[in-house]
Chain A
Amino acid sequence: MKRALLNLSVASLVLMLGATGCKRPEKGVTPISGRGAATVDTSTSANPPLGGTPGGEGGLTSEPLGPGGGEQAGLDTFEGYLMDKERFAGQTIYFDFDSSVVKLDQIDKVNAVGDELKLLPAVKLLIDGHCDERGTEEYNRALGDRRALAAREVLVKYGIDKNRIRVRSWGEDMPADLGHDNAAWARNRRDEFILLLPPTN
Chain B
Amino acid sequence: MMRMTQINHPAPRLAALLLAGVTAFGADQVLPPIDRLGIGDVPPIPIALSGYTGEVAQVLEFDLEVVGFKVVPESTSGLQYILSGKNDGRVEGTLRDAVSKQSRLHKAYGGTSLRQQAHGLADDVVKEVLGLPGIARTRIAFKRDLGRRSELYISDYDGYGAAAITSDGSVVAAPCWAPGKNLLVYTTYLAGNPDIMSHDLSTGKRAYVARYSGSNISPAVSPDGGRVAMIMSKGGSPDLYVADIDGSNLRQLTKTPEDESSPCWSPDGRTICFSTRIGGRRTLATIPVAGGAVKRLNTSGAVNPSEPAWSPDGKWIAFTSQRRDFEICVVPAAGGTARTVAVGEDPSWSPNSRTLVMVQRDKQANRTLSVLDVLTKQRKTLATGLGSCSQPTWAR
Contacts and interface: CB of A to CB of B under 8 A. Distances in A.
Interface of A: 32-35, 38, 40, 42, 45-55, 57, 59-63, 65-70, 72-75, 100, 133, 135-139, 141-143, 145-146, 149, 166-171, 173-175, 178, 180
Contact of A61 (B193, B205, B234, B346): B205
A167 B260 CA distance: 17
A51 B250 CA distance: 35
B262 A136 contact: yes
Contacts of A145: 214-215, 217, 233, 238, 259
B168 A40 contact: yes
Interface residues of B, number: 78
Contacts of B206: 40, 62-63, 65
A66 B198 CA distance: 12
Contacts of B248: 69-70
Given A32-B192, A136-B345, A168-B192, 9 more contacts: A42-B166, A53-B163, A75-B212, A137-B173, A138-B217, A139-B307, A142-B233, A149-B233, A169-B194
A144 to B, nearest CB: 8
A135 B204 contact: no
Which of A75, A137, A141, A170 neighbours the largest number of chain B CB atoms within 10 Å of its CB? A137
Nearest to B141: A53
B194 A49 contact: no
Interface of B: 139, 147-148, 150-151, 154-156, 161-169, 171, 173-174, 182, 187, 189-197, 201-215, 217-218, 231, 233-234, 236-238, 243-244, 246-250, 259-262, 275, 306-307, 320, 322, 326, 345-346, 363-365, 390-391
B163 A54 contact: yes
A51 B148 contact: no
Given A54-B161, A168-B194, A173 B171 contact: yes
A70 B238 contact: no
Contacts of B168: 40, 42, 45
B391 A69 contact: no
A171 B150 CA distance: 13
B247 A69 contact: yes
Contact of B217 (A54, A135, A142): A142
For the complex, would chain A's binding face be called helix, strand, loop or mixed by DSSP majority? loop
Nearest 3 Cβ contacts at the A-B interface: A69-B247, A68-B208, A33-B192
A57 B237 contact: no
B171 A66 contact: no
A141 B139 contact: no
Given A55-B182, A69-B244, A141-B173, A47 B167 contact: yes
Contact of B191 (A35, A61, A69, A174): A35
Contacts of B194: 141, 168-169
A47 B376 CA distance: 40
A63 B346 CA distance: 32
A142 B208 contact: no
Contacts of B156: 54
Contacts of B211: 35, 67-68, 72, 75
A45 B191 CA distance: 15
B18 to A, nearest CB: 40
